[in-house]
Amino acid sequence: SAVISQKPSRDICQRGTSLTIQCQVDSQVTMMFWYRQQPGQSLTLIATANQGSEATYESGFVIDKFPISRPNLTFSTLTVSNMSPEDSSIYLCSVDRGRRETQYFGPGTRLLVL
């Protein structure tokens, strides 16, 4: 499995502000993904972070709200822009480097928007 770290681990933010979450992997990976887990819910895929090109967003998620960077094969960022209380959630990055498309998750970033 991969060793994945995320920064910050948690944050409390004011509405209208933006927060950038970082995801670092200990080795090069082809695929990186960003998920959201809202309170009491399961995980929902936000987007696939593509190295060297624009991220691929899932239905209901747009680049203006969740801009993503993937400058190299070990690092990605997700920005939650113009936050509202509805954005309060856990944001997780994951990587895919195993057989049968197995994904491994970072520890998550707990975000509370007031």
Where do contacts with other proteins occur on this chain (CB under 8 A)?
Answer: 1, 31, 33, 35, 41-45, 48, 58, 92, 94, 100-108
Nearer to other proteins, 14 or 53 (CB): 53
- Given the complex with other proteins, which of 86 and 101 has the nearer CB atom? 101
Please give the Cα distance from 19 to 81 (Å, whole number).
7
Closest separation in Å from C-beta 103 to other proteins: 6
Nearer to other proteins, 82 or 99 (CB): 99
Q: Count CA atoms closer than 13 A to 58's CA, side-chain side.
A: 10
Smallest separation, CB 3 to other proteins (Å):
13
Which token pair is 8? 């910050």
Smallest gap from Cβ 69 to other proteins, in A, equals: 18
Give the separation between CA 39 and CA 15, rounded to whole angstroms.
18
Length reported for the chain: 114
CA–CA distance, 13 with 3 (Å, rounded to integer): 27
